[in-house]
């Protein structure tokens, strides 16, 4: 990929559904016959992949003199967003940072308070806290999104910042899904308020909800209560396992079970029992 006159290879330690797939994107060591690159950028999302990133750096230095390692795992604060560089085409980030200081989140430490960026076109919005931006910035973002289809607010909305004005802007867009969050008990009240504002215009399947599980003294039983509660409130929940620690197999099995919309719906509707759902995973 040519950026500022340089031919750059991007190496991704972990492949995700947001990773680019062009010919200059790689997911491992260099191949036998490689194009010539001016620089290699190794993008590292997760902290547990840092050692692997450094190993890849050593391997890529054999074919390119300049190899840079960065990404969220290395506390990269992020600069202006370049479409298609480290995220697949169609994804956009219009702001960095977050004004909140949640104990489980690294964003404020890495990126600081909200910084509004130049708005680049895209249908998948990955801002950490879009609704914390200024009204003038939001006006520009919503104006850009009017030209997009199947919009996905994948970065999520802070439920307490969802207002009638925000809902009115969303009504005028082709929204595929938007994401809220239920990360701790105190988040329930703002989540209920946000859903009450949104549900006249959006179906449950369009109102997704990240539910943090495994943080602090959490248990599988407590996590299941929150997931069911997120469903009762009117969202389609998705469990997010807090990753900076090792978990017993049971946690991963639990996350896998509740990550499947069809099984989740059947569990919450009472159409199947938990033992039946677990059998479907075998």
Model pLDDT for residues 4-38, shown as the tens digit of each residue: 889 999 999 999 999 999 999 999 999 988 899 99
Query: What are 129-154's pLDDT values in tens digits?
Result: 999 999 999 999 999 999 999 999 99
Instruction: Among 47, 73, 99, give the residue marking a domain's end.
Output: 73
- Does residue 130 sit in the same domain as residue 247? yes
Under the banding of pLDDT at 50, 70 and 90, the label for residue 280 is: low
- Position 243 scores a pLDDT of 78
User: 190 and 269: one domain?
Assistant: yes
Number of domains in the chain: 2
Q: Is the pLDDT of residue 244 over 70?
A: no
Angle between helices 220-233 and 188-198 (to 10 degrees): 30
Say which CATH number the domain at 267 has. 3.80.30
Domain hosting residue 147, numbered range = 78-280
Query: Lowest-pLDDT range, 48-52, 114-118, 244-248?
Result: 244-248
Beta strand ranges found along the chain (DSSP E): 2-3, 6-12, 25-26, 39-43, 67-70, 91-92, 95-96, 115-116, 124-125, 151-153, 175-181, 207-213, 236-241
For the chain, what's the residue count? Answer: 282
- For the chain, the average pLDDT equals 93
Q: Which residues contact 178 (CB under 8 A, 6 or more apart)?
A: 152, 153, 157, 170, 198, 202, 206, 207, 208
Same domain, 65 and 165: no
Residues 48 and 90 occupy one common structural domain: no
The answer to whether residues 102 and 240 belong to one domain is yes
pLDDT at 276 over 90: no
Same domain, 132 and 239: yes
* Mean pLDDT of the 90-97 span: 97
Give the span between the Cα atoms of 50 and 95, in whole angstroms: 25
- Give the pTM: 0.90
More reliable by pLDDT, 185 or 222 = 222
Q: Which of 66, 72, 24 is nearest to 44 (CA)?
A: 72
Last residue of a domain, one of 38, 73, 108: 73
Average pLDDT (247-264) is 90
* pLDDT interval class at 109 (50, 70, 90): confident
Distance in angstroms (rounded) separating the CA atoms of residues 200 and 217: 36
Indicate if 58 and 103 belong to the same structural domain: no
- Encoded tokens for 269: 């509707």
Distance of alpha carbon 233 from alpha carbon 156, whole angstroms: 17
Same domain, 180 and 93: yes
Sign of CA pseudo-dihedral 69, 71, 73, 77: positive
> pLDDT tens digits for 173-190?
999 999 999 988 889 999
Based on the fold, state whether residues 179 and 68 are members of the same structural domain: no
Question: Are residue 61 and residue 98 in the same domain, yes or no?
Answer: no
Verify that 165 and 241 share a domain, yes or no: yes
């Amino acid at each position: 990929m040519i950026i500022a006159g340089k031919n750059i290879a991007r190496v991704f330690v972990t492949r995700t559904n947001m990773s680019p797939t062009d010919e200059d994107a790689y997911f491992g060591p260099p191949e036998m016959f490689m194009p010539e690159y001016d620089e290699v950028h190794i993008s590292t999302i997760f902290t547990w992949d840092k050692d692997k990133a450094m190993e890849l750096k050593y391997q890529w230095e054999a074919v390119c003199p300049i190899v840079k390692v960065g990404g969220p795992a290395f506390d990269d604060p992020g600069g202006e967003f370049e479409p298609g560089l480290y995220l697949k085409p169609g994804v956009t980030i219009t702001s960095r940072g977050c004004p909140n200081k949640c104990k489980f989140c690294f964003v404020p430490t890495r990126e600081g308070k909200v910084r509004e960026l130049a708005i680049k076109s895209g249908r998948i919005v990955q801002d950490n806290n879009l609704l914390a931006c200024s009204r003038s910035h939001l006006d520009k973002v919503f104006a850009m999104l009017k030209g997009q289809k199947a919009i996905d607010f994948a970065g999520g909305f802070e439920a307490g910042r969802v207002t009638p004005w925000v809902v009115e802007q969303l009504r005028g867009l082709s929204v595929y899904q938007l994401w809220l969050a239920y990360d701790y008990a105190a988040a329930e009240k703002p989540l209920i308020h946000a859903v009450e504002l949104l549900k006249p215009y959006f179906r449950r399947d369009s109102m997704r909800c990240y539910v943090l599980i495994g943080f602090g003294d959490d248990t599988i039983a407590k996590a299941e209560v929150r997931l069911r509660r997120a469903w009762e409130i009117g969202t389609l929940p998705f469990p997010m396992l807090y990753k900076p620690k090792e978990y017993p197999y049971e946690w991963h099995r639990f996350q896998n079970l509740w990550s499947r919309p069809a099984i989740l719906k059947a569990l919450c509707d009472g159409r199947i029992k938990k033992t039946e759902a677990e059998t479907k995973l075998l």
